[in-house]
Amino acid sequence: MSAIDDRFRELRDAGKKAFIPFVTAGDPSLQATAAVLETLARAGAAIAEVGIPYSDPIADGPVIQASYTRALDSGFRLQQLWPMIAGVQSRLGAMPLVSMVSYSIIQRLGSDQFLQQALEAGFSGAIVPDLLLEEGNQLREKCRQRDFSLIHLVTPTTPRERMLQIAQASTGFLYFVSVTGITGERDGLSAELLKQVEWLREQTDVPICVGFGISRPEHVRQLRDVADGVIVGSAIVRRLAESATPEEGVAKVGQLAGELIAALE
């Protein structure tokens, strides 16, 4: 059991849904990332995803890719991320952190080393968007031994039988990708998506959270009855990028989080 499992149990007991924001580590700076995480925790985010910048992120849309590039250009290093996370933990209350990390980074560091450093810093799990079920056996086992959640993804192109296999392998929660494509903001969610989530909801106990393209209160309202949580990434990253100062960005993100959380109620 990781802190993520605990969190979902509490939410379910209280009849609540999870708001899961995503922020890029180090964009515009690690201090700003810490401030955003604090604000999100205060606003009532259930869990936060921290994106570890990667040079060649193929699953991410232009907004998050650009934020990764900015963070790397301004000198982001993994060895600076861990102390920032460790330092901000005490100010996050009960909000667990999940890293969003490319398998390239885990492979390079070595999975044991990665897990040890991530756990020591205070991460409760990881989403590895380029790690398929078939390639994940070894890492999954290592995560299980350490009570570290390994969150897998399903997409609208995933056949149903495979969805069930992935749901069974996923710990913490299951990430349901709302669209065929990359991350980024969208106008509306399809009825087909809602049906798919609803179907899967009946097949598995693992919490299902929907992400990719979720940016508005109306998206959240559409999802709150079928999913256990919503994940919001690009909309947050964009607000930070478009702000003149980190303080302004943090304030805007806090406001957006408030609106989206209200829509979940």
Partner 1 sequence: MTHQSASSAQPLSALPDARGRFGPYGGRFVPETLMRALVELEREYSAARSDPQFQRELDGLLSSFVGRPSPIYYARRLSEIAGGAQIWFKREDLNHTGAHKINNTLGQALLTLRMGKTRVIAETGAGQHGVATATACAHFGLPCVVYMGAEDVRRQRPNVFSMKLLGAEVRPVHSGSKTLRDAVNEALRDWMASVETTHYIIGSAIGPHPFPMMVRDFQSVIGKEARQQSLELWGRLPDVVVACVGGGSNAAGMFYPFIDDDEVRLVGVEAGGLSPRPGEHASPLTHGQPGVLHGSFSYVMQDEDGQTSPVHSVSAGLDYPGVGPEHAYWRDVGRVEYTECPDDKALSAFDLVAKTEGILPALESSHAIAKAMELAATLPKEKVVMVCLSGRGDKDAAEIARLRGEEY
Residues with catalytic roles: 49, 60
Residues 8-37 that bind partner 1 (CB under 8 A): none
Residue 240 sits at the vertex; the CA angle it makes with 41 and 98, to the nearest 5 degrees, is 40
Measured on CA atoms in the order 114, 211, 265, 38, is the torsion positive or negative? positive
The binding track of 173-212 with respect to partner 1, each residue x by CB under 8 A or -, is ----x-xxxx------------------------------
Smallest distance, partner 1 to C-beta of residue 105, A: 4
Smallest distance, partner 1 to C-beta of residue 162, A: 8
Question: By C-beta, is 77 or 144 nearer to partner 1?
Answer: 77
3-state secondary structure of 232: strand
Smallest distance, partner 1 to C-beta of residue 202, A: 21
Phi-psi region of 71 (alpha: psi -120 to 50; beta: other; left: phi over 0): alpha
CB 249 within 8 A of CB 260: no
Phi-psi region of 99 (alpha: psi -120 to 50; beta: other; left: phi over 0): beta
Question: By C-beta, is 119 or 133 nearer to partner 1?
Answer: 133
Question: By C-beta, is 153 or 264 nearer to partner 1?
Answer: 153
Measured on CA atoms in the order 221, 222, 223, 226, is the torsion positive or negative? positive
Select the span of 42-50, 66-74, 117-125, 201-209 touching partner 1 (CB under 8 A): 66-74
The binding track of 101-130 with respect to partner 1, each residue x by CB under 8 A or -, is -xxxxxxxx-------------------xx
Kindly state whether residue 70 participates in binding partner 1, applying the rule CB under 8 A: no
Element (H, E) at 42: helix 30-43
Residues 136-165 that bind partner 1 (CB under 8 A): 152-155, 157-159, 162
Smallest distance, partner 1 to C-beta of residue 169, A: 12
- Out of 6, 10, 56, 242, name the contact with partner 1 by CB under 8 A: 56
Element (H, E) at 97: strand 97-100
Look up residue 195 and give its two tokens.
Answer: 């049906």
Element (H, E) at 142: helix 137-145
- Out of 29, 44, 72, 201, name the contact with partner 1 by CB under 8 A: 72
Smallest distance, partner 1 to C-beta of residue 38, A: 25
Question: By C-beta, is 90 or 157 nearer to partner 1?
Answer: 157
CB 264 within 8 A of CB 20: no
229-263 burial code (b ≥16 CB/10 A, e <16): bbbbbbbbbbbbbebeebeebbebbbebbeebbeb
Binding site for partner 1 (CB under 8 A): 54-59, 61, 65-66, 69, 72, 77-78, 102-109, 129-135, 152-155, 157-159, 162, 166, 177, 179-182
